[in-house]
Amino acid sequence: MPTVPTRPPEENTPDEMLLQRISQGDRASLEVLFGKYRDAAFRVARRLLSSEADAMDAVQDGFIKALRNLDGFENRSSFKTWLMRIVSNASLDLGRQKKRRDTRRIRGEEGSEILDDVAGVSEDPLAGLDFADLRADLDEALSRLPEAQRQTFVLHVDGEMSYREVADTLNISIGTVMSRLFYARQKLKVLLASRLSS
């Protein structure tokens, strides 16, 4: 019978302690850990995917995988970077699968190769408002970046991760993070030039 600690966890309880308690079946610790990282994980997934439902799936699946495979984590980095690696990779995978499915569907229905704008479909209830337009433009521009640049950019900007954390998450050097970010932004600047000038 596992022993569950009686003292309730707090937001500032170290992740290592939360993980230990979770492994003993402590639901309250899981709730604290989930609350700490769910927003950042969702923002990353949402920016890499085009629908809120898919982003929620990626976050949910990411937490489950991260917690079930802690032996792959082995405290080599923080739980946050371990989680974000899983969530961002899962989001990219899901995005690729969805794009392929949508492309096939459009090919089948139209008999032509309409490949553009598939990833830009949004289920956002705010569609039509200015911010939603801005988001759609930015998402469209981001979808044109190489995947590695896009993932690095989104982890830093939407995941609010430091260069060090992004480097740990993607297992790359800080120099590579800097380089990817610089070139990603230069491309975004060009792609969104008309939007920014207005």
Partner 1 sequence: MNRSSVPLDALPDPDSDPTLYERLAALADGELSPAAAAQMSEWLREHPESTDDFRAQHEFGPSSDLMRLSRAPLPSSVAWDRAFAEIAVAVLAAPGSSVRPSAVPTRPADDHFRAPRWMLLTATTGIAACVALLVGLGLNAPNRLPDGGSVDRFLPDDERIVLAMNDEIEFHSLPEDARAYLPLGRYPISGAIVLANASEVEHHRSEPITGSPPARLDVPGEASETPLIWIPPHQP
Binding site for partner 1 (CB under 8 A): 2, 22-25, 27, 30-31, 34, 38-39, 42-43, 46-47, 52-53, 55-61, 63-65, 67-69, 71, 96, 124, 126, 131, 134-135, 138, 153, 156-158, 160, 162-163, 173-176, 178-179, 181-182, 184-186, 188-189, 196
- Decide: 99 and 115 in contact? Cβ < 8 Å: no
Give the closest residue to 154 by CA, choosing from 9, 33, 42, 7: 42
**In the complex, least distance from residue 165 CB atom to partner 1, rounded to whole angstroms:** 11
C-alpha 64/C-alpha 13 separation (Å) is 20
- Cβ nearer to partner 1, comparing 20 with 75: 20
C-alpha 186/C-alpha 135 separation (Å) is 18
Q: Which two tokens stand for residue 135?
A: 């988001």
Angle between helices 163-170 and 79-110 (to 10 degrees): 70
**In the complex, least distance from residue 169 CB atom to partner 1, rounded to whole angstroms:** 15
**In the complex, least distance from residue 110 CB atom to partner 1, rounded to whole angstroms:** 19
C-alpha 190/C-alpha 121 separation (Å) is 22
Give the closest residue to 157 by CA, choosing from 129, 176, 179, 185: 185
**In the complex, least distance from residue 107 CB atom to partner 1, rounded to whole angstroms:** 13
**In the complex, least distance from residue 182 CB atom to partner 1, rounded to whole angstroms:** 4
